[in-house]
Amino acid sequence: MSPTCAKECHQEITQRKGLHRAAQESCESCHVVTDQEKHTFSLVTKTREELCKKCHSLPHQNVAHPPVRDGKCYECHDPHGSEYPHLLVADPRRELCTRCHSQTVGQAKHVHGPVAFGACVICHKPHGSSEPKLLSVDSKTLCLSCHPEVEAKTGSHGHKALEEGCTRCHDAHASNHPYQLHELAPKLCLQCHQQKFDAMTKNAKVLHGAVTVEGGCSRCHAAHSSTLPALQRGTQPGICLDCHNKPTQTPDGTDLADMAALLKNNPNHHGPIREGACTSCHSPHAGDHFRLLIQDYTPDFYAPFKLENFQLCFTCHIPDLVLKQTGRGLTQFRSGDTNLHYLHVNQQKGRTCRACHEVHASKRPAHIREAVPFGSSGWMLEINFRADEQGGSCSPGCHTPKTYVRGDSVKPTVLKADSPVKGSDSTP
Ligand code: HEC
Ligand code: HEC
Ligand code: HEC
Ligand code: HEC
Ligand code: HEC
Ligand code: HEC
Ligand code: HEC
Ligand code: HEC
Ligand code: HEC
Ligand code: HEC
Ligand code: HEC
Ligand code: HEC
Ligand code: HEC
């Protein structure tokens, strides 16, 4: 056989866009006649698998693609010529690989951009590679070559998880979760943080719904890096109000306030909230105290006095506020020398701080509440608190209208020296 075969009968072989040099030069380098009469041919080698190796030797690599290793060059290349480059039997950026690897994408809902396109050879070498999985470079470098923004910028904290590569969390090809994640949080995160999570939550009395709900961890934490400590996705209260911008229910059915509305409608914000530190009072994940508080704070309206009942407030405020019966410089809530905090709180049936103060935000000075609940009916009685230079007054349902006058202007120290949150107060 010679190129005349192509000219005379087998034109289709030479009419392709790309021709194999070997076929242009001589048909006989691959075909030999077995029966001239019947016009039958066999290959010059015993098997198809040996044929190409006669003239081509591919560089040896650690990882060889099985069809290449087994000499099945014809699975991807046409021995004569092709419309596609490199004599390929199909478009390498579209369907060449999926002819055998249809399961790589399968029915998954979220497909990685280059994979959806079919451009497998952007990441994989078709013959062999020194990298596992025939990758053209190591997997993380590969991802970062197209997604450089994922690497932690200088000054920000990176997530150690990235050291194990991007594919610990992402499927390089496709998955049923957004961003081709293997799993959604919390499952995704607990692959590595299970132990810590168990330690935090196993015996905790209160578990924050945010950590168990699907996607919850990611509402507060960035996956790759953050300029904030503990990989917080954004500043507080923002990350909290992302969910607490509507009334929420605890598992026992208690309605929780819409904190976004509460903060918006009450312009006088408590010091730590002005500082953006919800977690100076609340554990973000789980805890042993009522409402996830980091310290005890009695849930009751009246409670026998014990300092421990108000430990939360006294992580920042000075305990003498309620411990000392008389004295100046302890509180503004005094009548002359008489400490009215002591008077109200430090008793067998003491009023809790809650009886008078809002803890997040208020309209009145000193975070005094507008009204208190009365009896079990849920009736609200207005307190009508007023403050002035000399003292203050209220006319609650609890007793007849009362006024207190300090008689001097000695100001109290509001915060302990080691308070975790400072403030420059809104006290009028
Ligand atoms: C590099 C080796 C090689 C060269 C050169 C080559 N062929 Fe082939 N050819 C093959 C292989 C391999 C097959 C498939 C045989 C098989 O499957 O058993 C084949 C098959 C064929 C067939 C069968 C039908 C088909 O298309 O599969 C024809 C006809 C053919 N070749 C003609 C030619 C002609 C004409 C030339 C010269 C212009 C030529 N070949 C040059 C390797 C070659
Ligand atoms: C008789 C020798 C010979 C045989 C047998 C042979 N080739 Fe080739 N092949 C060549 C030559 C010569 C070139 C041109 C080399 C160049 O351009 O550097 C070539 C080039 C190629 C190219 C590159 C084409 C391009 O456009 O980049 C591919 C792919 C290829 N051969 C595949 C095969 C396959 C598959 C087989 C077995 C079916 C095979 N060759 C068998 C001689 C051969
Ligand atoms: C799984 C599909 C596949 C198989 C099997 C395969 N190749 Fe390739 N080959 C490709 C692709 C795709 C290219 C295009 C170059 C690239 O993208 O790296 C290519 C390119 C080539 C080239 C030209 C460029 C280069 O890398 O030198 C030659 C020669 C070649 N192949 C020979 C072979 C031989 C010989 C075999 C069998 C031992 C073989 N190929 C098996 C997919 C395959
Ligand atoms: C003719 C069938 C066939 C074609 C076409 C094919 N492959 Fe494969 N490939 C296999 C087989 C068989 C294996 C080994 C079993 C497996 O992992 O599925 C494999 C394995 C792989 C692996 C895993 C290697 C490893 O070390 O685990 C990668 C990556 C791969 N192929 C990429 C490609 C790419 C990219 C293409 C297109 C250029 C392609 N394949 C085309 C048959 C094929
Ligand atoms: C964006 C880069 C990229 C593209 C595009 C890509 N892959 Fe991969 N592929 C990878 C990485 C990275 C791995 C290794 C995964 C791992 O280690 O978990 C891999 C692994 C594989 C494996 C080994 C089995 C597995 O799933 O781990 C096969 C087979 C494979 N790819 C085939 C393909 C095919 C077929 C295409 C095109 C449809 C393709 N890949 C496109 C990056 C890519
Ligand atoms: C060749 C360039 C390229 C490489 C390499 C690459 N990607 Fe992509 N990636 C893209 C493109 C293009 C998109 C789709 C465009 C988009 O949605 O932003 C995308 C989208 C993504 C998305 C979804 C983004 C979104 O907003 O929905 C993730 C996650 C992703 N890639 C992760 C990876 C990982 C992990 C690797 C390494 C295994 C990787 N990429 C390698 C080009 C690349
Ligand atoms: C610890 C798990 C984890 C690791 C490791 C990880 N990611 Fe992500 N990635 C995520 C999650 C979760 C998202 C979804 C968005 C979010 O929560 O911030 C995401 C989103 C993305 C996105 C789309 C949106 C965005 O933030 O840009 C890209 C692209 C991306 N990842 C690429 C990468 C690359 C590249 C690497 C490796 C350098 C990597 N990821 C490593 C978990 C991870
Ligand atoms: C592949 C393992 C792995 C996965 C998956 C993973 N992490 Fe991590 N993460 C680590 C390692 C390692 C550290 C550093 C040691 C430590 O603090 O436990 C870390 C630290 C952290 C830290 C503390 C960072 C700091 O600076 O204090 C947070 C927060 C975190 N991860 C959140 C997440 C979230 C949220 C997810 C799920 C989206 C997740 N992690 C998934 C391995 C992982
Ligand atoms: C992903 C949504 C989400 C985010 C983000 C979120 N929470 Fe929550 N939170 C909830 C849900 C749902 C509940 C009620 C159900 C429960 O706790 O199981 C709740 C309950 C609470 C409770 C009452 C707990 C109880 O059971 O008594 C407090 C206090 C709280 N959140 C504070 C915060 C703080 C502080 C932040 C920010 C650091 C925050 N939340 C961020 C969803 C969220
Ligand atoms: C409501 C917001 C929120 C949610 C939801 C949340 N975290 Fe956190 N996480 C934080 C904050 C804020 C910190 C900083 C430490 C602190 O203030 O107590 C933190 C700290 C961490 C730390 C590092 C500190 C430590 O305790 O070692 C890890 C690890 C962590 N979180 C993992 C997770 C994982 C995993 C999930 C999901 C199961 C999750 N977080 C859900 C807000 C959250
Ligand atoms: C100074 C400590 C402190 C700070 C700071 C703080 N909280 Fe609270 N939070 C409390 C206390 C105490 C309660 C219980 C109130 C009660 O029942 O009287 C509470 C209750 C809650 C509740 C349940 C509300 C309800 O209706 O029972 C949510 C939700 C909440 N806080 C979210 C937040 C968010 C979001 C932030 C940041 C904007 C924040 N907290 C900052 C102390 C604080
Ligand atoms: C009977 C009502 C009432 C109760 C109960 C109460 N307070 Fe007050 N508190 C006030 C009033 C009124 C002021 C404002 C006094 C002023 O500015 O004239 C005040 C002021 C404060 C101040 C600002 C500094 C100061 O002392 O002037 C702090 C801090 C404070 N209270 C903490 C607490 C704590 C902690 C509790 C619970 C242990 C508590 N209060 C219980 C009425 C109360
Ligand atoms: C994490 C620290 C912290 C905790 C816990 C805390 N506070 Fe405060 N509190 C502050 C800061 C900061 C200010 C503002 C002081 C300033 O600006 O001088 C403040 C101010 C106040 C004021 C005075 C506001 C004014 O305008 O005079 C009252 C009342 C108050 N806190 C009550 C409470 C009560 C009740 C609790 C317990 C439920 C509590 N605080 C827990 C940090 C805290």
Whether 130 is in a domain gets the answer: yes
Judged against a pLDDT cut of 60, whether residue 426 lies above it is answered with no
Judged against a pLDDT cut of 70, whether residue 367 lies above it is answered with yes
Q: Are residues 392 and 306 in the same domain?
A: yes
What is the model's pLDDT at position 1? 44
Range with the poorest average pLDDT among 25-34, 326-335, 398-407? 398-407
Residue 181's DSSP bridge partners are: 170
Whether 419 is in a domain gets the answer: no
- Residue 145 structure tokens: 């070559």
Residue whose CA lies nearest to ligand 11 atom number 19: 291
Residue whose CA lies nearest to ligand 3 atom number 36: 73
Write the DSSP assignment of 182-216 as a string of letters. SS-TTHHHHHHHHHHHHHHHTT-SEE-HHHHSTTH
Whether 129 is in a domain gets the answer: yes
Ligand 2 centroid to 98 CA: how many Å? 24
Q: Are residues 323 and 350 in the same domain?
A: yes
Whether 97 is in a domain gets the answer: no
What is the model's pLDDT at position 17? 87
pLDDT in tens, 331-345: 999 999 999 999 999
What is the model's pLDDT at position 14? 78
Residue whose CA lies nearest to ligand 7 atom number 21: 179
Phi, psi dihedrals of residue 336, rounded to the nearest 5°: 60, -120
Q: What is the mean pLDDT of the chain?
A: 91
Whether 421 is in a domain gets the answer: no
How far apart are alpha carbons 225 and 228 in whole angstroms?
Answer: 9
Where a domain ends, among 62, 87, 112?
87
Q: Are residues 261 and 309 in the same domain?
A: no
Ligand 13 centroid to 279 CA: how many Å? 14
Judged against a pLDDT cut of 60, whether residue 149 lies above it is answered with yes
Q: Average pLDDT for residues 161-171, to the nearest whole number?
A: 96
Q: Are residues 258 and 210 in the same domain?
A: yes
Q: Are residues 308 and 398 in the same domain?
A: yes
What is the model's pLDDT at position 425? 53
Instruction: Name which residue leads in pLDDT, 1 or 179.
Output: 179
How far apart are alpha carbons 163 and 25 in whole angstroms?
Answer: 53
Judged against a pLDDT cut of 80, whether residue 378 lies above it is answered with no
Judged against a pLDDT cut of 50, whether residue 428 lies above it is answered with no
Where a domain ends, among 292, 323, 357?
292
Q: How confident is the model at residue 155 (pLDDT cuts 50, 70, 90)?
A: confident
For 259, the enclosing helix (H) or strand (E) is helix 259-265
Where a domain ends, among 226, 258, 292?
292
Write the DSSP assignment of 56-73 as a string of letters. --PPP-SEE-HHHHTT-G
Whether 156 is in a domain gets the answer: no
Residue 191: closest CA among 210, 205, 209, 170: 170
Q: Are residues 64 and 18 in the same domain?
A: yes
Q: Are residues 281 and 310 in the same domain?
A: no
The residue segments making up the domain with residue 124 are 102-149+162-180
Q: pTM of the full predicted structure?
A: 0.93
- Regarding the beta carbon of 419 and ligand 13, being less than 6 Å apart is answered yes
Ligand 3 centroid to 175 CA: how many Å? 29
- Regarding the beta carbon of 199 and ligand 8, being less than 6 Å apart is answered no
Residue whose CA lies nearest to ligand 12 atom number 34: 353
pLDDT in tens, 412-422: 999 999 999 98
User: What is the tally of structural domains in the chain?
Assistant: 4
Cα separation values, 53 from 42, 73, 147, Å: 17, 10, 39
For 343, the enclosing helix (H) or strand (E) is helix 340-345
Whether 411 is in a domain gets the answer: no
What is the model's pLDDT at position 67? 96
- Regarding the beta carbon of 218 and ligand 8, being less than 6 Å apart is answered yes
Q: Are residues 272 and 311 in the same domain?
A: no
pLDDT in tens, 59-101: 888 889 999 999 999 999 999 999 999 999 999 888 899 889 9
What is the model's pLDDT at position 427? 43
Whether 247 is in a domain gets the answer: yes
How far apart are alpha carbons 329 and 409 in whole angstroms?
Answer: 9
- Which residues 6+ apart lie within 8 Å of 228 measured at CB? 157, 234, 235
- Which residues 6+ apart lie within 8 Å of 386 measured at CB? 392, 393, 394
What is the model's pLDDT at position 180? 97
